Amino acid sequence: GAARWLSSVDPQETKKFSEAAREWWDPSSTAGAGLLHAMNPVRVRYITDTVAPLVRPDEFGEAVFRGSPLHGLTAVDTGCGGGLLSESLARLGAKVVGADPTPAAIQAAQRHAALDPLTAGIDYRETTVDELVRQG
């Protein structure tokens, strides 16, 4: 039979982040983005220190030396919001797909990414992780 999909999208969270979209890139935001700015260096450090060497240990040292430890890797940032993590990963060399169900957040992410040639190529999609899985 056909698979039954349950949504992982919380409408209250979507509403909250939609309302906060204009403050995504303000580190002092009280609408939630401020905390995400504070957490971002920890998330990025974890990815570069832990995940990248496991994925391609033979090439990791040279990539770090070049300043792009994620070069050649593709990252999917689900629930990307305004793109804080997506942009950090792109600047470190990753090809990035950012997915979020909130139109205002995706628009904020696209606007901000367009300001920097290192982040302008991020593939932002207004979609859910559920839909990404269905697409394969």
Confidence of residue 136 (pLDDT cuts 50, 70, 90): confident
Mean pLDDT score of the chain, rounded to an integer? 84
57 has a pLDDT exceeding 70: no
68-96 pLDDT, tens per residue?
888 888 999 999 999 999 999 999 999 99
Output 47 or 54, whichever has higher pLDDT: 47
Q: Return the HEC string of the chain.
A: CCCCCCCCCCHHHHHHHHHCHHHCCCCCCCCCHHHHHHHHHHHHHHHHHHHHHHHCHHHHHHHHHCCCCCCCCEEEEECCCCCHHHHHHHHCCCEEEEEECCHHHHHHHHHHHCCCCCCCCCEEEECCHHHHHHHC
Query: What is the predicted pLDDT for the residue at 65?
Result: 61
Cβ contacts of residue 32 below 8 Å, gap of 6+? 16, 17, 20
Residue 86 and residue 106 in contact, taking contact as beta carbons nearer than 8 Å? no
Residue 3: the pLDDT is 53
What superfamily would CATH give domain 11-135? Vaccinia Virus protein VP39 (3.40.50.150)
Residue 123, pLDDT score = 98
pLDDT 10s digits, 119-128: 999 999 999 9
- How much is the pLDDT for 58? 67
Record the pTM.
0.80
Q: Which of 17-26, 71-80, 96-105 has the lowest mean pLDDT?
A: 17-26
Are 77 and 99 in contact, with CB atoms under 8 Å apart?
yes
